[in-house]
Amino acid sequence: MDNQELPPALEQALGGFGRYLEGERARSAHTLRAYLSDLRSLLEYAASEGIIELPGLELGTLRRWLGAQNQAGMSRSTLARRSATARSFTAWAMREDLIGTDPALRLRAPRREKSLPGVLQSQQLTRLLGGLAEAAAEGAPLPVRNRAMVELLYATGLRVGELAGMDVDDLNPDRRTLRVIGKGNKERTVPYGVPAAVAVDDWLRRGRPMLAKEHSGTALFLGSRGNRVDQRQVRAVVKDVFEALGDTSATGPHALRHSAATHLLDGGADLRAVQEILGHSSLATTQIYTHVSVDRLRKSYQQAHPRA
């Protein structure tokens, strides 16, 4: 759909806010496009109500704008983002003296829906990892690498970017721990088990030397040309093994992270220990996995108890 023509004052404000985001806030191109699309939607709605200058923008207009999108079926997460865009825009307009009062101060976004993460069952993981081990047994370097990457993702709950950024020196094979540089450049130490240790050792002995080049440096996992593996390649590997599994809707590495966290808690691990392993800055983020465990417990109870 083509953008509607805005009144000159509103178009000028849209451009000014875009320059602010791009310059002072150093937003990414993707975020910039999303924010400006949100703001254009708001200003087009305001124009449809006869508003031609920013001082005419009122709280009621903002609420009706969000309400119209809610009725159109827009997701809560998108509505929450658009509400945040509106608040950022009006706060900027106040600082620029384009408006005298901030109409978005009392604007409330709908709460984001908290979806429970998808979790692979233990028997699914046994089949998945068993298939990778069979492929690796033939000795080709990429299957050996793929097995090691997936074993390590599940064993540690690493984010895909953390896995791709690992160096050989980050491993401590004697203690079966690895050093991870996570979000916010925060460092943590994560343990891993014997199956992952076996797979990684196999990669280091048999697979990596076959792919390593002079430019490979100390990268733990390499692509077919000897470069450090990137996140896209890891995601493609995980997508393929999930598709081969056949009985899961999981598609990406984050499903392995979800599974690792949930299985740790199901096995009795302390919530704060799981927080440390996953690198969550807030315990509240980790607590979503307790909801997964309680939900599974409730389903098991309802299926098994005669008076559930």
Question: Over the chain, what is the mean pLDDT?
Answer: 87
For 62, half-sphere exposure in the C-beta direction (CA atoms, 13 angstrom radius) is 25
- At 1 the pLDDT is 44
Given a cut of 70, whether residue 305 has pLDDT beyond it is no
Please state the pTM of the whole predicted model: 0.60
CATH class held by domain 8-95: mainly alpha
Given a cut of 50, whether residue 258 has pLDDT beyond it is yes
Given a cut of 60, whether residue 117 has pLDDT beyond it is no
* Long-range contact pairs involving 240-243 (C-beta distance under 8 Å, separation at least 24): 241/128, 241/131, 241/132, 241/146, 241/150, 242/128
Report the pLDDT averaged over residues 177-193: 89
Given a cut of 50, whether residue 120 has pLDDT beyond it is yes
| Assigned architecture for domain 122-304 | Orthogonal Bundle (1.10)
Cα separation, 194 vs 268, in Å, equals 19
- At 296 the pLDDT is 57
Catalytically active residues are: 159, 183, 254, 257, 280, 289
Q: Which of 182, 150, 135 is nearest to 276 (CA)?
A: 182
- Range among 25-29, 77-81, 291-295, 303-307 with highest mean pLDDT value: 77-81
- At 201 the pLDDT is 97
Cα separation, 239 vs 292, in Å, equals 23
- Provide, rounded to the nearest whole percent, the portion of the chain with pLDDT above 90: 58
Report the pLDDT averaged over residues 211-218: 96
Quickly state the pLDDT bin for 44 (edges 50, 70, 90).
very high
268: phi > 0 → left, psi -120 to 50 → alpha, else beta; which? Answer: left
119: phi > 0 → left, psi -120 to 50 → alpha, else beta; which? Answer: beta
Cα separation, 56 vs 49, in Å, equals 10
Residues whose CB falls within 8 Å of the CB of residue 107, separated by 6 or more in sequence, listed in order: 59, 62, 63, 66, 83, 86, 87
Given a cut of 80, whether residue 136 has pLDDT beyond it is yes
Report the pLDDT averaged over residues 116-122: 72
- Domain regions of the chain by residue span: 8-95, 122-304
pLDDT greater at residue 293 or residue 178: 178
